[in-house]
Amino acid sequence: MSDVRVKFSLDKEVEEELDVFLPPAPLLAGAHVSGLPSYHDLYRSSINDSDRFWATVAAELYFEQGSTKGLEWNFDVRKGAPFTRFMSGARTNVAYNCLERNIKRGLGDKVAFLFEGNDPRDASKITYNQLLEKVVAFSAVLRTRGVGKGDTVSIYLPMISELAIAMLACARIGAIHSVVFAGFSAESLAARIVDAKAKLLVTSDGVFRGTKPIALKPIVDKAAELAAADGCLLPKVIVVEHLKRVSLPDGGKAPQFGPSCSHERDEEWEAAMESVKGVDSRVEWMDAEDSLFILYTSGSTGKPKGILHTTAGYMTYAYQTTKMTFDVHHETDVYWCTADCGWITGHSYVLYGPLMNGLTSVFFEGLPSYPDASRLWQVTEKYKVTKMYTSPTAVRALMAVGDHYVTKYDRRSLQVIGTVGEPINPSAWRWLHKVVGEGRAAIVDTYWQTETGGHVIAPLPGATPLKPGSATFPCFGVEAVLVDSEGRLIEGPGEGNLCFARAWPGMLRGVWGDTDRFAKTYFSSFPGFYFTGDGAKRDEEGYIWVTGRVDDLMNVSGHLLSTAEIESALAAHEKVAEAAVVAAPHDIKGSFPYAFVTLNQGERLTPSLVAELKQLARTKIGPIAVPDIIQQAPGLPKTRSGKVTRRILRKIAEGFDNGLGDTTTLIDESVITQLIAGRPSNA
C-alpha cells in the first residue's frame, strides 16, 4: 500500500516550471464562488456545519417530502459495519428533478440535448418538454413489461438519445439501471446481467465507431445465452434500430447484421413506444436511500464490483458539483462532456448533473478522431460550447497530431475545460490552456471515482489559482487526508495514501450484493477512513497531486482495469501456466497492460499464441483489456511466501531506468536476468 508511484515525469516537469494560473477575470466576475477566500469560507462551513450546508443545496432541488436529517455515517469498521445516509426520511425523484422541475421553472422549450452523431451529418435536438414525453412513454414501456420499483434494468447502448431516455425512465419509476459500456464483451455483459439479476435489457442493433460498424445485438444474444447457462434468465430485450437511421461513411454500405429482433424476448423500441400511446406513467416518489443505479467497476480481485448509488445524496451531489466545478449558468452556457454514459462520468456529468442544472448540453456519439482530429473543436465552434469536459487521454492524442487541427476552428466561446480519469501531465495541461483555450479558459483537473459519485478534489474556475497537474483542493464537504502505511495522518506537505475522513452525499452506499466486500475494499486498509486506492502528494500550499493507483488496478486511457481479471483471462488458455500483468507507461493512454506469461512445459510463445492470448482478453473482458505486449517468462519473480513481486515486473516493463530496487527477498534472482534479456523488441 505504501508503494506510491508517480506516473509520467510529473515531478520533473513540476520542478521545472512551478507557475500558477489565476482565474480568468471574466469568469471571476460572475462566478458562483468568486476568489480563493470565498472558497475557503464556504469550504469551512461545509465541514463545520455540514448539515446546514447540504440543506441549503438540497433546497434548490425538489423534494416531495423534506427531512431534518443530514449526513449520518460510520467509516470505522471497529465500531460496526460502515454505512452512509443522507436526508433520511426525505422523498424525491431524480428524473423529476431533471425534467418536471425545469419545465415548471419555464425551461420546457429549452434544448436539453444537442445530439451529435458519429457522422457529423447526424445531428438533432430535444427540448426538456420533448425529453419528458419520451421518458414518460418509455417508463410506461418498462412498467407494462413488468419492471417496477427496485427491479434492475441493464442498458447496453451506444451514446444515442435512447440511452438518456432509458436511464431517466428507470429513475422515474424507481427501477435500478445498470449501464454497461457498449465496448464490453459478451462475457463481461453476461456477468453483469447475472450479478444484477436484470429483468430487462435495452440495446441497439449496432453502432458505427468512426467508419467501423459494430454489431451489438449479437453480443447481447450471446450474453443472454451465457447468463441463462448461469441460471439467470433475461426475460426481455428492447432493441433500438439505430443503424438504419445513420448516415453511412462515404462510400460505405449498410451493414448486414441479421434481424435485430430474432428472439421471442426481443421487442423493437419504436413498436414498444407505439404500444403505450396515451398510457400515463406517474413519478415514483423514492425514499432518500432507495437505490438509483449500479455501475460496475474493476476490482482488485478480478471480479467487477457493482457500485451502488442511491437517490437524495447522489442527486444533490451531482447537481452541486456540476454547478460548482464548471461554474454553470443555464441562461448562458452550452455544456459538453465527451464521456460515454457507460462510465460514471456520463452518469453524473452528461446526464444527471447537467439536466438538473437546466443546461443545454451536447450529447456526443462520436470519436474525437473522426472524421478527423479536429472534431472536438469543430463541434465546439458549431454549438459555441462554453464549458467542456474530456479526458487526458483524448488531450494527449490530439496534442500529438498537431495544433492546426485545433486552430482552424473558433474556440472563443470556451471558458472552462475540464479533464478527468487520470492524472493530467503538466505538458498536456499547458497545451490545453495555451493552444486550445488561448490562455482565456480555466483548466479544471477533476479527481474522483465511480465510488465518489461526483468530483471530490477539483478547482473552482472563478476561485482557484491553478497549478498544472494538480487537481488542487477538496470539494465542499469532502475531507481529503493523506495517511502513511500505518494509517497515521500526515499533516502538512507530504506523500501518502489518499483517504477521506468523512462522508459526503454522493459517495457509494455499497457493493451490489456484497456487504463484506464494501467494508473490506474501502474501509479495512485504514480504519476510520475511506481509502481511494490512490496515492497523492500535498505541497506547502495544500495543493493535492494525485499520483496514481497504489493497488492492483491500472488506469488505461482513463478506465480502470484489474490486473487480476486480465491475468485470469490469459491463464484460461490451456498452454498458459501462470500470468502476471502490470501497468507500463504509455504516451497517450497513460498506461497499458504488459503481460508476463509462463507457459506449460515445452510450449513457446509463437506469434499465433500471442494473437490467441490477446483474443482471450478481448472476448473475456473487452478490447480495452488487450495487453499491448506479452512476454514469455521462464518463471515469475516471487517472494519466499510465493507472492509475485509486481514491483519488479513493473520495473522490467518500464525499461528499469532506475534500477530494480531490492531483490533480496526473492527466491530465484536469476529469473530477473532472464526476464530482462527476454524483453520483446517492441517493448
Applying CB under 6 A, the residues found at the interface with ligand WT7 are 297, 343-345, 420-423, 445-450, 471, 532-534, 546, 548-549, 555, 558-560
Residue number of the CB atom closest to ligand WT7: 450
Ramachandran assignment for 195, one of left (phi > 0), alpha (psi -120 to 50 degrees), beta (any other)? alpha
Map 65-83 to HEC letters.
ECCCCCEEEECCHHHCCCE
**Do β-strands 416-420 and 387-390 pair in parallel, antiparallel, or remain unpaired?**
parallel
* DSSP annotation string for 357-387: TT-EEEEE-S-TTSSSTTHHHHHHHHHT-SE
Amino acid residing at 579: A
Work out how close the CB of 269 gets to ligand WT7 at its nearest, in angstroms, rounded to a whole number: 29
Of 492, 466, 650, 584, the C-alpha closest to 14 is 466
E-strand ranges in 152-304 read 152-156, 176-179, 200-204, 206-209, 212-215, 237-240, 266-268, 286-287, 291-297
Work out how close the CB of 344 gets to ligand WT7 at its nearest, in angstroms, rounded to a whole number: 5
Q: How many CB atoms lie within 10 A of CB 640?
A: 8
Of 268, 282, 265, the C-alpha closest to 135 is 282
Cβ closer to ligand WT7: 181 or 269?
181
Looking up cell 509462463, which residue turns up?
A: 598
Distance, in Å, from the CA atom of 626 to the CA atom of 46, rounded to the nearest integer, reads 43
Work out how close the CB of 175 gets to ligand WT7 at its nearest, in angstroms, rounded to a whole number: 23
Cβ closer to ligand WT7: 45 or 449?
449
Of 320, 428, 336, 350, the C-alpha closest to 381 is 336
Work out how close the CB of 353 gets to ligand WT7 at its nearest, in angstroms, rounded to a whole number: 13
Work out how close the CB of 418 gets to ligand WT7 at its nearest, in angstroms, rounded to a whole number: 9
Helix ranges restricted to H, 433-514? none
Distance, in Å, from the CA atom of 465 to the CA atom of 22, rounded to the nearest integer, reads 4
Distance, in Å, from the CA atom of 506 to the CA atom of 375, rounded to the nearest integer, reads 33
Cβ closer to ligand WT7: 93 or 446?
446
Cβ closer to ligand WT7: 288 or 536?
536
Work out how close the CB of 561 gets to ligand WT7 at its nearest, in angstroms, rounded to a whole number: 9
Work out how close the CB of 318 gets to ligand WT7 at its nearest, in angstroms, rounded to a whole number: 12
Cβ closer to ligand WT7: 221 or 479?
479
Please provide the size of the chain in residues. 683
Contact between 388 and 414 under an 8 Å Cβ cutoff? The reply is yes
Cβ closer to ligand WT7: 34 or 521?
521
Distance, in Å, from the CA atom of 569 to the CA atom of 581, rounded to the nearest integer, reads 11
Helix (H) or strand (E) holding 218: helix 217-229
Cβ closer to ligand WT7: 63 or 349?
349
Work out how close the CB of 536 gets to ligand WT7 at its nearest, in angstroms, rounded to a whole number: 8
Contact between 672 and 635 under an 8 Å Cβ cutoff? The reply is no
Distance, in Å, from the CA atom of 525 to the CA atom of 564, rounded to the nearest integer, reads 19
Work out how close the CB of 631 gets to ligand WT7 at its nearest, in angstroms, rounded to a whole number: 25
Work out how close the CB of 395 gets to ligand WT7 at its nearest, in angstroms, rounded to a whole number: 12
Burial class (CB in 10 A: 0-12, 13-18, 19+), 25: exposed
Cβ closer to ligand WT7: 349 or 596?
349
458: Cα separation from own chain's centroid: 16
CA atoms in the 13 A half-sphere facing the CB of 83: 8
E-strand ranges in 374-432 read 387-390, 416-420
E-strand ranges in 539-589 read 544-549, 553-556, 559-562, 576-586
Work out how close the CB of 546 gets to ligand WT7 at its nearest, in angstroms, rounded to a whole number: 4
Of 420, 431, 423, the C-alpha closest to 397 is 431
The helix/strand/coil state of 314 is: helix
Work out how close the CB of 349 gets to ligand WT7 at its nearest, in angstroms, rounded to a whole number: 9
Cβ closer to ligand WT7: 246 or 498?
498
Work out how close the CB of 589 gets to ligand WT7 at its nearest, in angstroms, rounded to a whole number: 13
489: Cα separation from own chain's centroid: 29
Cβ closer to ligand WT7: 498 or 617?
498
Cβ closer to ligand WT7: 10 or 376?
10
* Phi, psi (deg, nearest 5) at residue 444: -115, 110
CA distances from 207 to 159, 249, 257, 258, 552 (A): 9, 12, 11, 14, 33
Work out how close the CB of 345 gets to ligand WT7 at its nearest, in angstroms, rounded to a whole number: 5
Work out how close the CB of 337 gets to ligand WT7 at its nearest, in angstroms, rounded to a whole number: 11
Helix 186-196 with 607-620: angle, nearest 10 deg: 30
